[in-house]
Amino acid sequence: LAAYAAKKSKKPQIIAKSSLILDVKPWDDETDLKVMETEIRKIETDGLLWGASKFVPVAFGIQKLSISCVVEDDKVSIDWLTEEIEKLEDYVQSVDVAAFNKI
């Protein structure tokens, strides 16, 4: 039993990660999406890695920011991340999780 425990402790720990795509909606068509994206990317914490982003047309000239990120499940809460983004209330109206995949 002790040998099994020693062998198991030598194995590298698997770090659970998730890949997310967040849809960030601005207040209106006059919101500067590039500034909004820059402010969102300033949110940094251990276990969070921002990825690619794109602007997607919604309606009536309004676009939303679709941004991807990878988070370590033990270090970053999805609720915390969306709340941090929503704190940018000058730019952000709402945040939706468009895709959530374990990797």
Topology (CATH) of 14-102: Alpha-Beta Plaits (3.30.70)
Compute CA distances 90 → 24, 42, 51, whole Å: 13, 15, 23
pTM over 0.85? The answer is no
Residue pLDDT, tens place only, 3-28: 666 666 666 677 889 999 999 999 99
pLDDT of residue 8: 61
Q: What is the DSSP string of 76-99?
A: --HHHHHHHHHT-TTTEEEEEEEE
Residue pLDDT, tens place only, 56-97: 999 888 999 999 999 999 999 999 999 999 999 999 999 999
pLDDT of residue 46: 95
- Per the document, the length of the chain is 103
All structural domains of the chain with their residue ranges:
14-102
